Structure 1
Amino acid sequence: MKFVIVALAFMFFSITILAADKYESANNAMFNGDYQKALELYTEVMKGGKQDADIYYRRGMAYLYLNQFDKALADFNLVIDKDKKNPDAHNNRGLCHSYMGNVDMAFDDFSVAIKLDPKFAQAYINRGSALVSKGEFDKAIVDFDQAVKIDPKNPELYLQRAGLYYYLGDYAKSVENYDKTMELGLINSKIYFNRGNSHFKNGAPTKAISDLTKAIELDSTDIEALMNRAYIHHFMGDSINADADKAKAEEIKYAKYTPVEDLKFVTYSNAGKDFFMDLPEGWNLIESDTSGGMINFFITPEDISIESEAMLIGVTVGIMKDMSSKYEVKSESDILDFWKGSLDYSNEDMQEYTVQWQRHQEWNQHGTLLNLSTVQADQNYLRFNMYEYAIAWGDNLIFVYFQAPEDTFGYYRKVYDRALQTIKIGENYKLD
């Protein structure tokens, strides 16, 4: 019996050492930016019995860095339950609320953090950002100023205040704060880029070009800096340098893509063999539920679940059969008019829906309509360019949407132009 007790004591000691090793390894992983590994190790330590506020706080930080805000929020809630006077936990819970769109709750947490630690400069910055979201700009400036007053040698605070002034349209003060940021030793390509934009907005295009040039020297692949410098060159009447910057930006943008002429195209079709089209090998065909009577499927290079994720790049195909039995259409011309009306209706809530051009043409003696359009849901979403293609095939409407974010559409348009030439309709739609 005595031997067993000693053995158990030894086992407990070993487990404690192992847990401590994992805890230290988790901390090292956090320090090195390997947040997934840190998360896994903290969870293992917790399973070993460590359940104090510290371990939940550290795991919450790992979740926060991994953008898993709901799980981070749950951990910070537990920290605050165990230690209500922890200003860091309130600040980080406020960040979770902020990222999840709960601005009022974020504001409350940042305020508690400040009350618990009146010298918490970053909490003032965070609360100021929440005030910006609430439209209370004067109060936001007060909080940003207080942060700088608390920690006047911290360049990060001037950097964030520079961004606030740019947002508010006070470009002179934005430049002043970027100057102070760099004076305190924080210098990188993005700061030159942002100060360059502030200079331009403040009426100093020459200084803007100088800063954007420094940004490009530090990061020669910065497409935004090249495009902004091109815009300013054009603004100043220097079309030669503007065109050179645009060409360089395009070269960088598409360097990661395989030239379209080198791609292997294969034929894709849905299970019912209703529609055929050639696209690059390796894309995924995803079929939707057809119980509603409409055939709908997607072909995309992305590995996504259509039910829960939005497709950024790819093709949507839809087939509506027996149109005259469901809608007031009597001819192929009526079907195309119906489609145009449905586009207007479905896009009326978009921030932007612009048809750049529209082409009416016949295909295999049937009417078709092709739009090149730009679409953006609102300012928080990407702008997309799209080919919107409709075929009136007897009493059926076949529509095909080819889409990509605006900044990559130049490449995918070449893919889609080729795909358009390969469309075939299934034998079951053959008309007399």
Structure 2
Amino acid sequence: MYSRKGLMTDINLAPTYNLKAVLKETGLKADTLRAWERRYGLPEPARSSGGHRLFSQHDINTLKWLITRQDEGLSISRAVDLWRSIVNQDQAPLQVMPIGLPHSRVAPPMGGAVEELRHAWIEACMAFDESCAEQLLTQAFAQFSPETVCLEVLVKGLSEIGESWYQGKVSAQQEHLASSLASRRIDALLTAAPPPTYPGKILILCPPDDAHTFSPLVLTYLLRRRGRMAIFLGANVPLQHFDETLQSLKPQLVAMAAQDLRAAAGLLPFSEIVGSKDIHFAFGGRIFNLIPELRDHIPGHFLGESLAQGLDELEQQLSRRPKQVQARSKSTEYQKAETVFTQQQAALIARLSVDLHPEGIRPHDLTRTHLQLTESVIAALELGNLHFLAQEMDWFLGLEKQYAVPVGSLDAYIRGYQQAAQAVMGSDAQIVLDYLEGLISPVA
């Protein structure tokens, strides 16, 4: 039988409610409640003089707490283990992890109130109204489960804001404020997350030069809520000493996210090290949704097109033996072009800065474009398919719209880039030169 140590003293422990009242309040069936009492010793109802069970408000809250954990993905046995683990640390489960709304076994609505809260939060961020945005998040977490708020309000909200920025409707400052507020809230929740109830560690990280941390941070938090020991290493994690990190932590699974083509290529060396140690390697992120074919070029397991799918896929992967997936081999032509582009990257960008000055683009944005396209070419070569670059061309078109660049600038830029690459690298880059030629409109 479990102890109530560590619980708040003002919780009502008086046996007041009969079985019918408890079933109505929690939505449980009588057989289910009896089974929980018999198998797990939770709750612990008192008995009336006539032998009938009487439940306290604390008993009802305990049941709601267990139901909430089930809704978040835990089995009832794991939920009970988590309750006892928290109690054994002299903490109150009802304080450490809040319960859901009454009848929370019914799935929370994905539209209506959730959408309204998301739109209101976005509007507050766009107005730089930090206080209002924080109040809306507090309201959301009080009304819905943390998983619902994370996925339906924060993740979708930031995605909508990011798309608006790409379309030139939202400033970088507005986007940064929203990201900061969302990350700050998840950081606070992660700090208060309960200790793990499952063995094994899950390592989550972003590849070098990737600062998109919010989705991996949310994934870490939601895994913690499911009783997993998830460790988030943060953004821009270098490959150096990663082998030693694996030796020290001995994770059961390593998960990485990539938002663009360059980050996707950055997963390759990590996946090779992880695979060599018979550890699960899993990946996901925006770029794999935009280019589904890219999933076959990363040695590992694709987690799905959403964080919700990723959570379930991770749980399934942890119950299986790691499957060794070999990286695709590249042709000699691709290897040669990758080598010369990597070695001559600085020289190419210097040449582009002298030769190319498209009308309407600020020098700072132009330098960033040179660097991004060159790094994307190298990434496509590393991944073994130059056609993956099409997504980066779409990014440039978005830049044209955002800065009102004259129509035709894309063709002119690609032509100039092709000529600069040919001058710097010659025939060693022929496969790239031919690909760029195919992107230029016939009328250019």
TM-score w.r.t. the length of structure 1 is 0.28
Bigger share in helix? 2
Where relative contact order (Cα < 8 A, 6+ residues apart) is larger, the structure is 2
TM-score by length of 2: 0.28
Q: Relative to total residues, which structure has the larger strand share, 1 or 2?
A: 1
